[in-house]
Amino acid sequence: MWDAFAAGLGWSAATALMIMLGTFALALNLDVHRVVDVAWGPAFAAVAVVTFGLSQGHGDPGRQWLVTGLTVIWGLRLAVHIARRGSGHGEDPRYEAMLAHAPGNRNLYALRMVYLLQAALVWLVSLPVQAAQYISRPLSAWAFAGTALWAVGLFFEAVGDAQLARFKADPANRGRIMNRGLWRLTRHPNYFGDFCVWWGLFLIACDGGWQAAAVSLASPLVMSVLLIRGSGKRLLERHMAIRPGWDAYVARTSGFFPRPPRRS
């Protein structure tokens, strides 16, 4: 198993790199770097499909189909959502702010700090998906638990995104805080959903024993840090803090893990 897995790591890295370089070329043509966010999910889906092909004859077919299907569903849903959300808009304010202080050529700086970095993250975070493809053991309770957690995550992501999109579509809500539906339980249902998706895929990789778990553990840990302390929750809340009613919303609503809202 491990020789084949190690041999496939280079191919998965090359796949992530090609996706991001292609996205960079598209961004230069469109003169907007926000398209890299659309490519994030499909890059994972591409790595899953490539690894699926490379692992044939090495792993359990049921797990190969399972982990590939879950990754592709998650990646394509995310891409469609981000593409719809950004349609008709200009550059993402995050990238505008970053590139405003870029030393030297702005596009080359974006290539280094956005596209190549995201290619590396796709390779690292997808390790459970890659490792699971080469596990020859039959599906066990780890895989079923992981699939259940993945489903919880997809529910929070998809429903939370849909609820927020409907809220923003109403002009009467401009400048207001979204505090309905899943957003009453957590200030970040979509980020919590992403958290569950990657811990779920990690559990599926745990079917391969402690070695597969050790190889894959960096993935959910890195995603957790990014979502809670990195470019996810922390950065978004810094932007949202200026809105009226934010402090009251923070006081009654969980910062990440869902729970009933506190009473005033």
Residues 6+ apart with CB under 8 A from 188: 227, 232, 233, 236, 255, 256
In the block, residue with structure tokens 């066990």? 140
Domain segments of the chain as ranges: 1-136, 138-264
| Predicted TM-score of the model (pTM) | 0.93
Tokens matching residue 83: 């593409």
Residue 15's Cβ-count burial label (10 Å; 0-12, 13-18, 19+) is: buried
b/e map of 171-200 (b: 16 or more CB within 10 Å)? Answer: eeeeeebbeeebbbbbbbbbbbbbbbbbbb
Closest CA to 68 of 54, 81, 82, 84: 54
Tokens matching residue 217: 């553990």
Residues 6+ apart with CB under 8 A from 164: 178, 183, 190
pLDDT digits (tens, 9 = 90+) for 18-50: 999 999 999 999 888 889 999 999 999 999 999
Higher pLDDT, 91 or 194: 194
* Contact yes or no for 257/186 (Cβ under 8 A): yes
pLDDT digits (tens, 9 = 90+) for 170-179: 998 888 888 8
pLDDT digits (tens, 9 = 90+) for 45-100: 999 999 999 999 999 999 999 999 999 999 999 999 999 988 777 777 778 877 88
Closest CA to 128 of 186, 202, 77: 202
Closest CA to 131 of 219, 194, 221: 219
Amino acid 142: pLDDT: 95
